[in-house]
């Protein structure tokens, strides 16, 4: 069955790029976020800037919403077409256009897979640090739209920190170019940085230029097991007090550790309260010295066991637990609701305590893991969306967790974006005036509110 | 003589904070930018958020323009009140509110002097890298407004890269807060990063939170003298090819070198074509290894003489030439017009050649220095604003230089902002659609166009 919209789209972009069967529309009705889905009217996998402009112009004529989508790995519902209309897929625009090793930049189309970019630049001794958990599937366009973080954020920053320049299409089909390949460019407003984290609501990216840095020479990985989660938090503070900024500093609590052990059987003790995965990278001497500091900080914080990887293979083994955290938690129950609160690092113990209290108060199973070095925690509720009563309690628990994060000077999202799932907390975090200003900016780009509608703001746009 | 406006302002904020005599208004009619000045009607040195709100509310009632100003060291006319009205001075709001050594952040009022912030955090083993040339006078508020760079930008990035959170007042007197102390915060639009480089046209900052990093342990400084400026440019490429990112990589041409030697007599040979000031910092082993790489890169690029600082004192001596570049150039003729083009690093030779050609073609004396590691060059014209014919030729020369920077994929400003002096080139750089969008964003914050009017955009706001 081909709808009249699909036929019109096929006339514009050609056959094989437009999807409109029931099963296809179902596939693009959700992303990696639970509990939110909505079918689009058609899906277009664009292969060129001409395609993008043509689809946007048709959408303008027909007054249709347009929702950009990469690999659909988002965790706040950012690519769910909640108002229907057209889903615009970037995945076929996946060329690495240029790696400029002389000027340390890379130019890509939006559909390039993050891990493919890593591999391509690392072959040349270069490094693109942002490594979101979904990096083997996620696209650079999606990473920019959500300003994605990752395990290396503490030392190296997040996607927006590497963004130099963007070509993007506005909802009216016009093309705009911001930024240059220059690492210093302060001409006009800083729209490039603004677009990092704009969640697909401002424009559709067609070309992205990212900064590269030299690849760290070596690294060393540690797995620290604790009898008390507070000791893990103390290690984070102790490292910062020693002025050590590890490249990775990840936390997992006992719920997560046990789910991982159930799933991948890597021999983690069942009775530990928490673990930290710590990695230092860089020059061999720096790594050696920081490794000694990491050992000392762990010991002073009463670590039970400290495993140190002897080589790259052992390092990968130590990462296994962390890399399997979400998958392992997701196996336990039909529905996994992952959140993304961030607090100033010294407030991690209080945040962990609130998560524990919320789980107890609302009789829920919540496993927490995340980027302790950034104060960015992922409390993950193992539930079943068919159990309406439990889902209601999940909402109450997250409400308690978000309120606490805000009151601790933290934020409702460290790396997943606001999307649909956190929009109701945004006004409390930033205040009504900031919401008003954000809406006015949105309207400046998209007066009819047709580009990825229903995101970020708690109410539909006026 | 106290104007009626000044009396009203005094009633609001109290005596001693309002300036309106002829000589006072003259003082605040210009900043460090030549050829642009305009007297305000009154100047208010606010000391509290209450003062800010009160002044903005009065300005709203009277329909007056308001221009924020720090120390007035800007080089694109950003703090010149070109439409009159009130100048709002931040300099009395100069408290360092908190240095959070446990969470690596610092909270300041906008009037804190950049170098004072450096000193305060370095005492605790912490580091705030951005170091604009004016850092001994410039304020953090001004640095954020202009997204200021500096000598350490290549390795460490610029002001916006360290900006975590802002409190600001909109033109209507309402207060907005963006961001948190969290290094990862992707809730809502990224307005914090957008405000870096907003040139005082979006809001008046009242509180600024900046990220800190551990202070580098040691450093080593080099001064490399060349017979051919192309060899200096080759050294920049050779360093990047070796994956060495120095903390400082500064260029000076022969015009600048001779002016410095005339001024401070440090024994620089008169016949060298260019010099590079290079510094590596960090762990002693890294510094040692990079130092060897720097020597090798300079030698391979036919350096004439390579001076290596033995200690901190000698390092300071080697910096003397670069630190005195602008002052030395400024002594030669009554008017010094400094520009700020940036090109991709591999295009530096072409940019230098165009600057040389422009000087020859329009019979001008132009000295060039700048941040070669970032491709950010400051061609500096030594002229006399009373000589209208020469000033016309200066404009033609800069026109040629800006056109060339844009055609090389560069930008019209690497760190000084667009302000008044570069606004006419912005449409060519970003295109009419981007200008339209930027104007709409400006209007979203400031519908009447009263906050720092006449900046960034080539025409007055509609």
The helix/strand/coil state of B246 is coil
User: Exposed, middle or buried: residue A333 (CB in 10 Å: 0-12, 13-18, 19+)?
Assistant: middle
Whether B245 sits inside 8 A of A214 (CB atoms) is yes
A281-302 pLDDT per residue, tens: 999 999 999 999 999 999 999 9
Q: Is residue B460 assigned to a domain?
A: no
The chain A residue lying nearest B151, using CA atoms, is A184
Q: Are residues B118 and B16 in the same domain?
A: no
A124-134 pLDDT per residue, tens: 999 999 999 99
Residues in chain B: 462
> Buried b vs exposed e over A5-15: b needs ≥16 C-beta within 10 Å?
bbeebbebbee
pLDDT, average across residues B152-175 = 96
Using the predicted structure, report yes or no on whether residue B410 has a pLDDT greater than 70: yes
Q: Is residue A462 assigned to a domain?
A: no
Question: What's the start-to-end Cα distance of chain B, in Å?
Answer: 35
The helix/strand/coil state of A303 is coil
The pLDDT assigned to A119 comes to 98
CA distances from A147 to B105, B126, B193, B203 (A): 21, 27, 12, 24
- Give Cα B119 to chain centroid, integer Å: 19
The whole-chain average pLDDT of chain B stands at 95
Pairing mode of beta strands B213-214, B126-127? antiparallel
Q: Are residues A119 and A207 in the same domain?
A: yes
The helix/strand/coil state of B69 is strand
Q: What is the DSSP string of B104-158?
A: TEEEE-TT-BHHHHHHHHHTTTEE-----TTTTT-BHHHHHHHT---TTHHHH--
Q: Name, in order, each residue with C-beta under 8 angstroms of B195's C-beta and a sequence gap of 6 or more.
A: B144, B163, B166, B168, B178, B202, B203, B205
Q: Which chain A residues are within 8 Å of B456, Cβ to Cβ? A: 188-189
Residue B170 CA to residue B53 CA, distance in Å, equals 9
The chain A residue lying nearest B152, using CA atoms, is A184
Whether A184 sits inside 8 A of B149 (CB atoms) is yes
- For residue B287, the distance in angstroms to the closest alpha carbon of chain A comes to 10
Query: What value of ipTM does the predicted structure carry?
Result: 0.95
Q: Is A286 touching B (CB cutoff 8 A)? A: yes
Confidence of residue A461 (pLDDT cuts 50, 70, 90): very low
Query: Domain end: B304, B329, B354, which one?
Result: B329
Q: Are residues B85 and B110 in the same domain?
A: no
Q: Using an 8 Å Cβ cutoff, are A34 and A336 in contact?
A: yes
pLDDT, average across residues B271-288 = 97
Using the predicted structure, report yes or no on whether residue B427 has a pLDDT greater than 70: yes
Question: Given the structure tokens 């972009």, which residue do they identify?
Answer: A13
Q: Is residue B32 assigned to a domain?
A: yes
Q: Are residues B312 and B337 in the same domain?
A: no
Confidence of residue B436 (pLDDT cuts 50, 70, 90): very high
Q: Is B181 touching A (CB cutoff 8 A)? A: yes
CATH number at residue A104: 3.30.465.10
User: Exposed, middle or buried: residue B34 (CB in 10 Å: 0-12, 13-18, 19+)?
Assistant: buried
Q: Which chain A residues are within 8 Å of B170, Cβ to Cβ? A: 433, 437
Interface size, chain A vs chain B, as Cβ–Cβ contacts under 8 Å: 278
Confidence of residue A459 (pLDDT cuts 50, 70, 90): low
pLDDT, average across residues B345-370 = 96
Q: Are residues B350 and B428 in the same domain?
A: yes
Confidence of residue B3 (pLDDT cuts 50, 70, 90): confident
pLDDT, average across residues A419-423 = 95
Using the predicted structure, report yes or no on whether residue B459 has a pLDDT greater than 90: no
Residue B19 CA to residue B43 CA, distance in Å, equals 5
Confidence of residue A66 (pLDDT cuts 50, 70, 90): very high
Within 10 angstroms of residue B170's Cβ, the number of other Cβ atoms is 19
Q: Are residues A160 and A130 in the same domain?
A: yes
A242-291 pLDDT per residue, tens: 999 999 999 999 999 999 999 999 899 999 999 999 999 999 999 999 99
Confidence of residue B375 (pLDDT cuts 50, 70, 90): very high
Q: Count of domains in chain B?
A: 4
The pLDDT assigned to B461 comes to 43
Residue B459 CA to residue B462 CA, distance in Å, equals 8
Q: Which chain B residues are within 8 Å of A193, Cβ to Cβ? A: 160, 190, 193-194, 196
Residue B38 CA to residue B69 CA, distance in Å, equals 14
pLDDT, average across residues A209-213 = 97
Q: Name, in order, each residue with C-beta under 8 angstroms of B362's C-beta and a sequence gap of 6 or more.
A: B393, B394, B396, B397
Q: Is residue B461 assigned to a domain?
A: no
pLDDT, average across residues A54-68 = 98
Q: Is A34 touching B (CB cutoff 8 A)? A: no
Beta pairing partners, B67: B87
- Alpha helices in A348-431, H assignment, sequence order: 348-361, 388-407, 426-430
Confidence of residue A3 (pLDDT cuts 50, 70, 90): confident
Q: Is B417 touching A (CB cutoff 8 A)? A: yes
B36-65 pLDDT per residue, tens: 999 999 999 999 999 999 999 999 999 999
Q: Are residues A84 and A107 in the same domain?
A: no
Cβ-nearest to A196 among B104, B190, B343 = B190
> Buried b vs exposed e over A282-305: b needs ≥16 C-beta within 10 Å?
bbebbbebbbebbbebbeebebbe
Query: Domain end: B182, B214, B246, which one?
Result: B214
Q: Are residues A314 and A348 in the same domain?
A: no
Q: Is A22 touching B (CB cutoff 8 A)? A: no
Pairing mode of beta strands B42-45, B86-89? parallel
- Taking 3-state DSSP, the helix, strand and coil percentages for chain A, each rounded to the nearest 5, stand at 40, 20, 40
Q: What is the CA radius of gyration of chain A?
A: 22
Q: Which two three-digit tokens encode residue A186?
A: 């302060």
Q: Is residue B183 assigned to a domain?
A: yes
pLDDT, average across residues B232-251 = 95
Q: Using an 8 Å Cβ cutoff, are B43 and B79 in contact?
A: no
Q: Is residue B343 assigned to a domain?
A: yes
Q: Name, in order, each residue with C-beta under 8 angstroms of A360's C-beta and a sequence gap of 6 or more.
A: none
Q: Are residues A412 and A393 in the same domain?
A: yes
Using the predicted structure, report yes or no on whether residue A1 has a pLDDT greater than 90: no
Whether B190 sits inside 8 A of A245 (CB atoms) is no
Residue A24 CA to residue A293 CA, distance in Å, equals 53
Question: Given the structure tokens 């990491």, which residue do they identify?
Answer: A294
Within 10 angstroms of residue B19's Cβ, the number of other Cβ atoms is 19
Residue A293 CA to residue A299 CA, distance in Å, equals 10
Q: Are residues B310 and B248 in the same domain?
A: yes
Q: Is residue B308 assigned to a domain?
A: yes
CATH number at residue B273: 3.30.70.2190
The pLDDT assigned to B462 comes to 40
The whole-chain average pLDDT of chain A stands at 95
Q: State pTM to two decimals.
A: 0.96
Confidence of residue B458 (pLDDT cuts 50, 70, 90): confident
Whether B417 sits inside 8 A of A245 (CB atoms) is no
Q: Is residue A456 assigned to a domain?
A: no
Return the ∠ at Cα B166 (arms to B164 and B167), rounded to 5°. Answer: 155
CATH number at residue A406: 3.30.70.2740
Q: Are residues B410 and B442 in the same domain?
A: yes
Residue A123 CA to residue A128 CA, distance in Å, equals 12
pLDDT, average across residues B299-312 = 95
The strand ranges marked E within A149-265 are: 163-169, 175-179, 204-211, 213-214, 218-226, 248-253
CATH number at residue B45: 3.30.43.10
Q: Are residues A35 and A46 in the same domain?
A: yes
Question: Please, what's the largest Cα pairwise distance for chain A?
Answer: 68
B117-162 pLDDT per residue, tens: 999 999 999 999 999 999 999 999 999 999 999 999 999 999 999 9
Residue A318 CA to residue A294 CA, distance in Å, equals 16
Query: Domain end: B44, B70, B89, which one?
Result: B89
Using the predicted structure, report yes or no on whether residue B1 has a pLDDT greater than 60: no
Phi, psi of A152, rounded to the nearest 5 degrees: -95, 10
Q: Is B292 touching A (CB cutoff 8 A)? A: no
Residue B162 CA to residue B78 CA, distance in Å, equals 21
Confidence of residue B199 (pLDDT cuts 50, 70, 90): very high
Q: Which two three-digit tokens encode residue B417?
A: 């902002």
Could you tell me the residue range of the domain that residue B387 belongs to? 333-451
DSSP run (H or E) holding B43: strand B42-45
Phi, psi of A288, rounded to the nearest 5 degrees: -60, -45
Q: Is B447 touching A (CB cutoff 8 A)? A: no
User: Exposed, middle or buried: residue A50 (CB in 10 Å: 0-12, 13-18, 19+)?
Assistant: exposed
- For residue A292, the distance in angstroms to the closest alpha carbon of chain B comes to 15
């Amino acid at each position: 069955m081909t709808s009249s919209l699909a036929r019109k789209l096929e006339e514009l972009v050609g056959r094989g790029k437009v999807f409109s069967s029931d099963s296809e529309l179902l596939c693009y009705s959700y992303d990696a976020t639970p509990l939110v889905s909505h079918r689009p009217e058609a899906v277009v996998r664009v292969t060129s800037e001409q395609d993008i402009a043509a689809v946007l112009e048709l959408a303008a004529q027909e007054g249709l919403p347009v929702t950009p989508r990469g690999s659909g790995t988002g965790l706040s519902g950012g690519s769910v077409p909640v108002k229907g209309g057209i889903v615009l897929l970037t995945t076929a625009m996946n060329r690495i256009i240029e790696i400029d090793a002389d000027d340390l930049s890379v130019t890509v189309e939006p559909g390039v897979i993050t891990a493919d970019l890593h591999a391509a630049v690392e072959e040349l001794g270069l490094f693109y640090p942002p490594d979101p958990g979904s990096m083997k599937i996620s696209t650079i366009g999606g990473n920019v739209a959500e300003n994605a973080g990752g395990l290396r954020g503490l030392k190296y920053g997040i996607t927006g920190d590497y963004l130099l320049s963007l070509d993007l299409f506005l909802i009216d089909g016009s093309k705009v170019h911001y930024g240059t390949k220059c690492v210093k460019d302060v001409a006009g407003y800083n729209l490039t940085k603004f677009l990092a984290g704009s969640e697909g609501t401002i424009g559709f990216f067609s070309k992205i230029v990212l900064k590269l840095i030299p690849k760290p020479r070596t690294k060393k990985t540690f797995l620290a097991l604790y009898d008390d989660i507070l000791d893990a938090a103390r290690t984070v503070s102790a490292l910062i007090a020693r002025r050590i900024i590890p490249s990775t500093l990840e936390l997992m609590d006992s719920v997560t550790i046990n789910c991982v052990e159930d799933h991948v059987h890597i021999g983690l003790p069942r009775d530990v309260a928490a673990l930290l995965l710590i990695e230092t990278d860089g020059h061999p001497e720096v790594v050696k010295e920081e490794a000694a500091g990491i050992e000392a900080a762990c010991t002073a914080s009463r670590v039970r066991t400290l495993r140190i990887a002897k080589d790259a293979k052992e390092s990968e083994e130590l990462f296994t637990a962390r890399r399997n955290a979400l998958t392992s938690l997701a196996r336990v129950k039909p529905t996994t609701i992952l959140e993304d609160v961030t607090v100033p690092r010294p407030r991690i113990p209080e945040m962990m305590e609130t998560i524990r209290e919320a789980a107890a108060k609302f009789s829920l199973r919540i496993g927490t893991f995340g980027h302790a070095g950034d104060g960015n925690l992922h409390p993950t509720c193992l539930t079943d969306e068919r159990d309406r009563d439990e889902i209601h309690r999940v909402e109450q628990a997250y409400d308690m967790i978000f309120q606490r994060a805000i009151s601790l000077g933290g934020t409702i999202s460290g790396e997943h974006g606001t999307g649909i799932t956190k929009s109701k907390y945004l006004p409390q975090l930033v205040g009504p005036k900031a919401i008003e200003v954000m809406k006015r900016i949105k309207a400046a780009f998209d007066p009819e509110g047709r580009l990825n509608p229903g995101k970020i703001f708690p109410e539909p746009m006026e």
